[in-house]
A and B are shown apart, each in its own frame.
Chain A
Amino acid sequence: MKLIDKLYKDAPLATRNEITPKLGFLLTILLALAWLIPFLWMGVATLRPASDGINLMAELMPSLKPTLDNIKDAWEIGDFPRYFLNTTIICTGILLVQFVTITLAGFAFARLDFAGKTVIFYLFLMQLMLVPVLLIVPNLRLVAQLGLYDTLAGVMMPFFASAFGTFLMRQAFEAIPTELEDAALIDGASLIQRIRHIYIPLSIPSFSAFAIISVTSHWNDFLWPLMVINSPDKRPLTVGLSVFTATAEGTQAWGTIAAGTLMVIAPLLITFLIFQKRFISSFVTSGIK
């Protein structure tokens, strides 16, 4: 009830006695619940003892005798600390290089004039329409020729340039008034200084939005790392986890799968909860209007 009162106080005067915003709020709560169910189930299934049998596996009611056996099992099957480290290296490595490439490319498309700019930009965007699976063989061949087969650098390589990121930065930079840049120009700032002191600080929300998208997608990428990596000690989390989720003929130990999945997504989930506000706001704001 406190929550309702607080919402009531926060609502603009004009809408306090209207029904529509309240309905919207109710709908939001329902959606949030629907979104929460799989996470709740994962938590419940992780703590469920195997003795409960398969019949209770789909239950959302937690077991009365919770156990940590599943987590122990999952932890023993894979070398999880190492998988975490590898995934972290891959995601951060990709992101740092992407920041450099998308900033420069985004700036070029937003502010520089050169022949064939539009055509090149559309060609760039066409990358978004390619199914990644199509590129596996050519990419792998190139990675092997560069001597990066079975290395983490080989996993990162194809993602150093990002069509989506370039598009996002171009939109963000275009929204920045040129007067700001002109002022800096009068002060004698060089091109790089202008990017560094005007464009980048004003586009932080776009950068963080992109960072979130980039990290979550590469954190969850499975097929490409599976192709590049052979050595067990270079496996990222997804490949390590799939050892006990991808079974063809047998069966599925749901408790272990739930525990493993929980371990894989926990860092992302925690990060999301911490940065929730920033995450949401990064999608609604963009620089000065």
Chain B
Amino acid sequence: MLFSRRLMLGLAMAGSMAGALAVPALAGEGPTEIDLFFPVPVDGKLARDMGTLIKEFNETHPEVKATAVYTGSYDDTLIKTRASIKAGKPPAAVIMSANFLLDMQIENELTNLDSLIAADGSTKDKFLGQFFPALQGNAVIDRSVYGVPFHNSTPLLYINADKAKEAGLDPSKPPQTWAELTDWAKKLTKREGDKVTQWGIAIPCAYDYCGWMMETLTMTNGGRYYNEEFGGEVYYDTPSMLGALTWWNDLVSKHKVHPPGATPGPAVSTSFISGNAAMMMLSTGSLTYVRENAKFNYKVAFIPRNVRNAVPIGGASLIIPAGVEADKQKAAWTLIKWMTSPEKSAWWSRATGYFAPNMAAYKTPDMVEFLNKNPDAKTAVEQLDVAKPWFATYKTVPVRKNLEDEVMLVLNGKKQPKEALVAAQKAADETLKPYNAETSLKLP
């Protein structure tokens, strides 16, 4: 008998817990309750900033009650959003890595925002016109709007100005070409016998970052990485990508001015701050951190070119997942418009180091004052003139990893660039096959 009492007790407990912990859904009356999923891409304190932002929104919009739900990294946020859509519980809005939008749209996981824009009496061109042109490529798919740029970045070249002066270089004239950069890196590398005590340059390579850096180098080498018009093609086995990877590999194994192996982003910024690396390529998103932690004079510059100046954008957009009910959609749209308005955009930019996608943000008095105090924040915005969309394909993440795995092998000295890129192309073509079978290879 004891057992059955136990079991009943256990079940009763589980039941009562479920009852006590389940939140009853609000019916009709009161504010519309919505969830916003957000990753923290830069710094944990931002979770608090996000809380502040949403609190202010709720105070100024009594008809909506938004909750900010922290959802891990960019990749975790995608997993959680997809899982919640499949479970029939999609959040009303998500801050989503800008290059996941195409993949989600292909899988019918996004709400088309055109009708919401039209309902406001605005037009697509007018709405998108608020944002930097470089950001529109990742927000518009098949001439429809699917995302609203929220915080964005471009890669930058960070230079330790003190060490450059020490090496007889002029930090006010940063390297503009790969040849100059190689030369700088050689002059900035310090050796004791065979041991390197100071690296000339460090470029991050870990999942997510590695693909972004490869796109950066390929673009400055005249290349394209992927077909911007169609989600079924990437260009890994090309002269421009081969040149880019060979140059990166030469910095490591031929010139020995770049630390060997694949270094994750935080390790790169740590070694730059500690003086262990004299230059680094890293996101604008790290600018606030460098500004607060560097004990030396530093300089930020455009990414040097081999063929042309070009960079991909990074960062995230606000989206509404598919399957959100009409009233929540409306509430989410109100939240999205508020978050991407010039004032809020500017405030968030100052908190994070990302640039504000809304061009009017830079006309707000607070921002003008901030830029006068911190001219280094202008470089990323100026570089937007040469910025292009971030690669986005069917199954963006696996296709990206097909290349990243091979690049890591090259940087670890286990493969030559050419064979690595052939292997990456083959793997990516395989990953993209199902989509091509449904589109480009589906013949009448």
Q: Given A230-B69, A249-B285, A252-B266, check contact A93 B42 (CB 8 Å).
A: no
Q: Which of A168-226 contact B (CB under 8 A)?
A: 192-193, 195-196, 223, 226
- Which residues from chain B contact A251 at a C-beta distance below 8 Å? 42-43, 266, 269-270, 286, 289, 293
Q: Given A230-B67, A246-B76, A248-B265, check contact A153 B83 (CB 8 Å).
A: no
Question: Are B73 and A246 touching (Cβ within 8 A)?
Answer: yes
Question: Are B41 and A93 touching (Cβ within 8 A)?
Answer: no
- The interface-forming segment of B5-13, B216-224, B396-404 is B5-13
Q: With an 8 A cutoff between CB atoms, is B1 at the interface?
A: yes
- Which residues from chain B contact A136 at a C-beta distance below 8 Å? 79, 83
Partner of A253, one of B6, B43, B285: B43
Q: Which residue of A lies closest to B75 (CB)?
A: A248
Chain B nearest CB: distance from A162 CB in Å? 14
Interface residues of B (CB under 8 A from A): 1-4, 6-7, 10, 13-14, 17-18, 21-23, 35, 39-45, 47-48, 67-74, 76, 79-80, 82-84, 86-89, 91, 153, 208-209, 265-266, 269-270, 273-275, 282-283, 285-286, 288-289, 293, 295, 314, 353
Greatest chain A CB density within 10 A among B70, B266, B353 is at B70
Q: With an 8 A cutoff between CB atoms, is A20 at the interface?
A: no
Q: How far is the CA of A231 from the CA of B283 in the complex (A)?
A: 31
Partner of B21, one of A144, A234, A248: A234
Chain A nearest CB: distance from B24 CB in Å? 10
Q: Which of A132-157 contact B (CB under 8 A)?
A: 136-137, 140-141, 143-144, 147-154, 156
Q: With an 8 A cutoff between CB atoms, is A250 at the interface?
A: yes
Question: Are B10 and A192 touching (Cβ within 8 A)?
Answer: no
Partner of B274, one of A54, A160, A196, A239: A54
Q: How far is the CA of A247 from the CA of B75 in the complex (A)?
A: 11
Q: Given A196-B3, A227-B80, A250-B43, check contact A153 B265 (CB 8 Å).
A: no
Q: With an 8 A cutoff between CB atoms, is A89 at the interface?
A: yes
Could you write out 7 A-B pairs with CB less than 8 Å apart?
A: A53-B273, A53-B274, A156-B17, A223-B79, A247-B42, A250-B266, A250-B269
Greatest chain A CB density within 10 A among B40, B44, B70, B269 is at B44
Chain B nearest CB: distance from A41 CB in Å? 15
Chain B nearest CB: distance from A54 CB in Å? 5
Question: Are B72 and A226 touching (Cβ within 8 A)?
Answer: yes
Chain A nearest CB: distance from B17 CB in Å? 5
- Which residues from chain A contact B74 at a C-beta distance below 8 Å? 248
- Which residues from chain B contact A196 at a C-beta distance below 8 Å? 2-3
- Which residues from chain B contact A239 at a C-beta distance below 8 Å? 70, 72
- Which residues from chain B contact A149 at a C-beta distance below 8 Å? 87, 89
Q: How would residues 234 to 246 of chain A score, 1 for a CB under 8 Å from any chain B CB and 0 otherwise? A: 1000010011111
Q: Which residue of A lies closest to B35 (CB)?
A: A230
Per CB-CB distance, the 9 closest pairs between chain A and chain B, nearest first, are: A244-B44, A250-B42, A153-B18, A249-B285, A144-B87, A251-B289, A192-B3, A151-B21, A140-B87
Chain B nearest CB: distance from A48 CB in Å? 14
A-B contact count (CB 8 A): 167
Q: With an 8 A cutoff between CB atoms, is A100 at the interface?
A: yes
Q: Which residue of B lies closest to A254 (CB)?
A: B270
Q: With an 8 A cutoff between CB atoms, is A166 at the interface?
A: no
Question: Are A248 and B41 touching (Cβ within 8 A)?
Answer: yes
Q: How would residues 252 to 289 of chain A score, 1 for a CB under 8 Å from any chain B CB and 0 otherwise? A: 11001000000000000000000000000000000000
Greatest chain B CB density within 10 A among A154, A223, A242, A249 is at A249
- Which residues from chain A contact B283 at a C-beta distance below 8 Å? 249-250
Q: With an 8 A cutoff between CB atoms, is A123 at the interface?
A: no
Question: Are A232 and B87 touching (Cβ within 8 A)?
Answer: no
Q: How far is the CA of A57 from the CA of B353 in the complex (A)?
A: 24
Q: How would residues 73 to 108 of chain A score, 1 for a CB under 8 Å from any chain B CB and 0 otherwise? A: 000110000000000010001001100100010000
- Which residues from chain B contact A54 at a C-beta distance below 8 Å? 270, 273-274, 293
Q: Which residue of A lies closest to B82 (CB)?
A: A137
Question: Are B285 and A77 touching (Cβ within 8 A)?
Answer: no
- Which residues from chain B contact A89 at a C-beta distance below 8 Å? 17
Question: Are B41 and A249 touching (Cβ within 8 A)?
Answer: yes
Q: How far is the CA of A248 from the CA of B6 in the complex (A)?
A: 47
Q: Which residue of B lies closest to A256 (CB)?
A: B44
- Which residues from chain B contact A140 at a C-beta distance below 8 Å? 83-84, 86-87
Q: Given A54-B293, A232-B69, A248-B41, check contact A153 B21 (CB 8 Å).
A: yes
- Which residues from chain B contact A193 at a C-beta distance below 8 Å? 2
Partner of A227, one of B3, B47, B83: B83
Question: Are A137 and B266 touching (Cβ within 8 A)?
Answer: no
Partner of A144, one of B1, B42, B88, B353: B88
Question: Are B285 and A250 touching (Cβ within 8 A)?
Answer: yes
Q: Which residue of A lies closest to B207 (CB)?
A: A248
- Which residues from chain A contact B314 at a C-beta distance below 8 Å? 249
Question: Are A226 and B43 touching (Cβ within 8 A)?
Answer: no
Question: Are A247 and B87 touching (Cβ within 8 A)?
Answer: no
- Which residues from chain A contact B353 at a C-beta distance below 8 Å? 250
Chain A nearest CB: distance from B383 CB in Å? 16
Q: How far is the CA of A227 from the CA of B22 in the complex (A)?
A: 16
- Which residues from chain A contact B82 at a C-beta distance below 8 Å? 137
Question: Are B274 and A137 touching (Cβ within 8 A)?
Answer: no
Q: Given A192-B1, A196-B2, check contact A248 B87 (CB 8 Å).
A: no
Chain B nearest CB: distance from A259 CB in Å? 11
Question: Are A152 and B83 touching (Cβ within 8 A)?
Answer: no
Q: How far is the CA of A238 from the CA of B153 in the complex (A)?
A: 29
- Which residues from chain B contact A147 at a C-beta distance below 8 Å? 18, 22
Q: Given A248-B73, A249-B314, A251-B43, check contact A53 B295 (CB 8 Å).
A: yes
Greatest chain B CB density within 10 A among A151, A230, A248 is at A248
- Which residues from chain A contact B282 at a C-beta distance below 8 Å? 249
- Which residues from chain A contact B265 at a C-beta distance below 8 Å? 248-250
